[in-house]
Chain A
């Protein structure tokens, strides 16, 4: 079984390398991370934290948008495209379970995402450290940022497989993925913001809002990075919410979506008749 997962992973890895995905994703991460690191180094004095902490806060905000986007762009075509080419029926005629096929694709895509995140954020961290703006705590924050970004990407990879299995065509899968990104990453926060403003500090804002916020994996990612470091929380201005939730809430949300998303994607692929 593990041999078949690795066989699929190996092939998918060849594909992300050959079609320049790996190169482009890494380049995008590197450019954005470096740009934010240098642009975000101005407000250090007023907050009283080191430059790397500020950079991590900026890069956390960046990763909320970029990690889901890169993950969805890698995964949206993976089932619908195969079905469209007619190679899915052929692949499924081999003794590889649908979970094994998904697992193999996931491993390869996760490795590509992990490489892009590590190189992008890692380089930024090294650049700041080399110029003397880092501490042990901020170095840990960079490590946490890389790890959680990969996890957030993993959640959106499995969401992408789910949509790809449900969509029926690559074009529909692309559309659904764009819609998912827009809703989860952008509109969800705007909606909650509106609710909080309308509630004006009432029961909803006090007790319900933090949990609703954490239920969204993208916000859970933000909270996770914030709650783990009071300096980053200070720099992102999210101290209020992070204080009102237990520490396990954000990691639990991300792990839940990862496991549930994979299970849903596998179910959707099982139901697919190529």
Chain B
């Protein structure tokens, strides 16, 4: 499948410092990619570059073959800014109608989209009366206008309650199903972990990871945590034998390298007289993120 969005060693300099340093990333149609990184790592800058809101200092970006900021690129792209707000005198319907007219799709889909994001009842109320979550959902509604080829979502879940977050990821899945490539910048690691196909991590303007969660775990070689509950009175001996750490009266925590995991498990499983239970925790995205985002000097 050919990529719909290609970023080829994109660089951006601000005040003499590289805020983005030769970042290369590509998205295929229907792919959901999470863009992670600390504040100031360059996530928003990268999105602005893709939107053509700020100019590249090096490299190239193509959206469906078009230059960022060109009309073709803007038609193909949908964007949800972080914590967006609208003019308080307009109603949700007014605001969405403006976007629909600008996108050239006419106002026919407006009512359906407001319903889709749960704003049907508030459609004719002024945005000044909306809660933060409602404004965010209005922002999401405009992303769905006109079947975009690429959707860029900057912190889409900020300000949403847990139920709305679920709903948001359902909508992201629908976008992906219709062939939209979705790039989600987020801090909510646990959500992103379950709902995206690929993880890209930016650190100080450089792309330090860009792969599936499984491959990243493999590359990082992060240890799997084993928590073993020992039988009555056997905990001390077990801890001494294995070099594990006592965490409470009867449990011992051990970490083991990915390749040694099965061997360890087999060994402990055989110790029927001392081991009562084994709990295994593979490395989570949080651990991976910490590994990649703080590799240097951490």
User: Which A residues lie at the B interface, using CB under 8 A?
Assistant: 3-4, 7-8, 10-11, 14-15, 18-19, 81, 85-87, 89-96, 273-274
Q: Which residues of B contact A11 (CB under 8 A)?
A: 90, 94-95, 98
Q: Which residues of B contact A81 (CB under 8 A)?
A: 87
Within 8 A of A (CB), among B241-278: none
Query: Which single member of A8, A14, A273 contacts B53 (CB below 8 Å)?
Result: A273
Q: Which residues of A contact B126 (CB under 8 A)?
A: 18
| B82 close to chain A: CB less than 8 A | yes
9 shortest A-B CB distances, which residue pairs?
Answer: A7-B101, A18-B89, A94-B102, A85-B85, A93-B79, A95-B74, A11-B98, A95-B71, A19-B89
Query: Which single member of A15, A87, A89 contacts B51 (CB below 8 Å)?
Result: A89
B99–A94 touching, CB < 8 Å: yes
Query: Which single member of A14, A86, A95 contacts B103 (CB below 8 Å)?
Result: A95
Q: Which residues of A contact B101 (CB under 8 A)?
A: 3-4, 7, 10
Query: Which single member of A7, A86, A96 contacts B84 (CB below 8 Å)?
Result: A86
A86–B98 touching, CB < 8 Å: no
Query: Which single member of A10, A89, A95 contacts B81 (CB below 8 Å)?
Result: A89
Beta-carbon nearest neighbor of B79 in chain A: A93
A15–B90 touching, CB < 8 Å: yes
A89–B89 touching, CB < 8 Å: no
Q: Which residues of B contact A90 (CB under 8 A)?
A: 79-81, 84, 139, 142
CA gap between A89 and B98 in the complex, in Å: 15
A87–B82 touching, CB < 8 Å: no
Beta-carbon nearest neighbor of B126 in chain A: A18
Q: Which residues of B contact A3 (CB under 8 A)?
A: 101, 104
Chain B 123-151 interface 0/1 with A at a Cβ cutoff of 8 Å (1 = within): 00010000000000001001000000000
Beta-carbon nearest neighbor of A20 in chain B: B89
How far in angstroms is the closest Cβ of chain A from B83?
Answer: 6
Q: Which residues of A contact B81 (CB under 8 A)?
A: 86-87, 89-90
Within 8 A of A (CB), among B15-69: 48, 51, 53-54
How far in angstroms is the closest Cβ of chain B from A232?
Answer: 39
Instruction: State whether A89 and B79 are in contact (beta carbons under 8 Å apart), knowing that A11-B94, A273-B48 are contacts in the complex.
Output: yes
Q: Of residues A15, A90, A96, A273, which shows the largest number of chain B Cβ atoms within 10 Å of its Cβ?
A: A90
A87–B86 touching, CB < 8 Å: yes
A to B CB contacts below 8 Å, 24 in the list: A4-B101, A4-B102, A7-B98, A8-B102, A14-B90, A15-B90, A19-B89, A86-B82, A87-B84, A87-B86, A87-B87, A89-B51, A90-B80, A92-B53, A93-B53, A94-B74, A94-B99, A94-B102, A95-B102, A95-B103, A95-B104, A273-B48, A273-B54, A274-B53
